[in-house]
């Protein structure tokens, strides 16, 4: 049986070599787009889907109430989302990340210990005076404590947007399979 399209068969090694060279960049682009989609989803797309914890707001009597119907989380300016990019590529690996200093605390969660600034002290002092004027002493006491505090513990909940994901791995595997099929068909 004669071999047809011998030129196509001879081109395959060159096409595969070019594919292998471009593969880390393609995978990196897929990962960047996947991680940026997490901002639209408002959670980390893994199995199972992990929705981000909502904002908290102090209202009467210092009770915490979740805010509904507000703007999406982590995208007020869009800087964090736009900062996700391919950081490093090599022949067999690609690194995706961000250089923003606050990205890690949002991705992993944690506590920030901060010495209150003069502006913060004045703001809390003002809030305590307003609460006392309205007769709400418990809220006034809370704000008065904030205005004289030596340090503030700010708790940032984990809102993971970059990390290992089985969904991303499946998407990458499907795309690589499709690209290899395309090379073999050519």
Domains in the chain: boundaries: 5-102+162-185, 113-152
* Token duo for residue 98: 């961000």
Mean pLDDT of 9-16: 69
26-75 residue pLDDT tens: 889 998 998 888 888 888 777 787 776 776 655 544 555 444 445 566 66
CA angle 143, 146, 151 (to 5 degrees): 170
139 vs 55, higher pLDDT: 139
For the chain, give the secondary structure using H, E and C: CCCCCHHHHHHHHHHHHHHHHHHHHHHHHHHHHHHHHHHHHCEECCCCCEECCCCEEECHHHCEEECCCCCCCCCCCCHHHHCCEEEEECCCCEEEECCCCCHHHHHHCEEEEECCCHHHHHHHHHHHHHHHHCCCHHHHHHHHHHHHCCCEEEEECCCCCCCCCHHHHHHHHHHHHHHHHHHHHC
47 vs 5, higher pLDDT: 47
114 vs 69, higher pLDDT: 114
Average pLDDT of the chain is 78
Please determine, for residue 10, whether its predicted confidence score (pLDDT) is greater than 70. Answer: no
Please determine, for residue 165, whether its predicted confidence score (pLDDT) is greater than 60. Answer: yes
Check residue 60 and give its pLDDT: 46
Its pTM stands at: 0.69
CB atoms within 10 A of CB 128: 22
Q: Report the alpha-carbon distance of residue 95 to residue 106 in Å, rounded.
A: 19
Please determine, for residue 4, whether its predicted confidence score (pLDDT) is greater than 70. Answer: no
Please determine, for residue 163, whether its predicted confidence score (pLDDT) is greater than 50. Answer: yes
Please determine, for residue 83, whether its predicted confidence score (pLDDT) is greater than 50. Answer: yes
138 vs 129, higher pLDDT: 129
52 vs 120, higher pLDDT: 120
Please determine, for residue 174, whether its predicted confidence score (pLDDT) is greater than 80. Answer: yes
Check residue 168 and give its pLDDT: 86
127 vs 50, higher pLDDT: 127
- The closest alpha carbon to 46, from 158, 155, 178, belongs to 158
């Amino acid at each position: 049986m004669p071999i047809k399209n011998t030129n196509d068969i001879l081109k395959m090694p060159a096409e595969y070599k070019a594919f292998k060279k471009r593969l880390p960049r393609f995978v990196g682009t897929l990962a960047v787009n996947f991680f940026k989609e997490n901002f639209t989803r408002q959670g980390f797309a893994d199995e199972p889907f992990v929705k981000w914890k909502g904002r908290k707001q102090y209202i009467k009597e210092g009770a915490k109430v979740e805010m509904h119907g507000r703007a999406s989380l982590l995208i007020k300016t869009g800087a964090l989302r736009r900062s996700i990019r391919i950081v490093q590529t090599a022949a067999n690996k690609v690194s995706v990340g961000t250089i923003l200093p606050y990205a890690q605390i949002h991705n992993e969660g944690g506590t920030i210990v901060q010495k209150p600034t003069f502006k913060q002290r004045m703001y809390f002092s003002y809030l305590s005076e307003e609460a006392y004027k309205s007769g709400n002493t418990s809220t006034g006491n809370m704000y008065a404590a904030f205005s004289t505090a030596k340090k503030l513990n700010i708790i940032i909940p984990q809102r993971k947007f970059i990390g290992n994901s089985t969904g991303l791995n499946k998407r990458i595997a499907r795309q690589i399979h499709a690209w290899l099929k395309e090379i073999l068909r050519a």
